[in-house]
Amino acid sequence: MAVPKKKTSKAKKNMRRSHHKIAGTTLITCEKCGATKRPHRVCLDCGDYNGKQVLNLAE
C-alpha cells in the first residue's frame, strides 16, 4: 500500500484545493417583467415561464 514519505505542507495542500470553491448563483432577468430569477425556472414575480403564463398570481 502506498504511504506518503513526508507530510504534505499547508501551502501545498491549499494550492491543490484552490479550485474547490463554491460557484456563485447564476441569475438572469425575466424577459416579461425584468425581475431577476434563476435560469429555467418560473418567475415568481409575474408567473411567466418560456413565454407562457404558468402561475396565476392574484395581485
- Give 9-54 pLDDT, tens digit per residue: 999 999 999 999 999 999 999 999 999 999 999 999 999 999 899 9
Range of the domain at 56: 26-59
What does the angle CA 9 – CA 20 – CA 7 come to, to the nearest 5 degrees? 15
Amino acid identity of residue 34, one-letter, is G
**Residue 17 covered by a domain:** no
pLDDT above 90: residue 58: no
How many C-beta atoms surround the C-beta of residue 47 within 10 A?
15
**Residue 31 covered by a domain:** yes
The pLDDT assigned to 59 comes to: 56
What string of H, E and C letters represents the secondary structure of the chain? CCCCCCCCCHHHHHHHHHHCCCCCCCCEECCCCCCEECCCCCCCCCCEECCEECCCCCC
Amino acid identity of residue 17, one-letter, is R
Q: Could you give the number of structural domains in the chain?
A: 1
**Residue 5 covered by a domain:** no
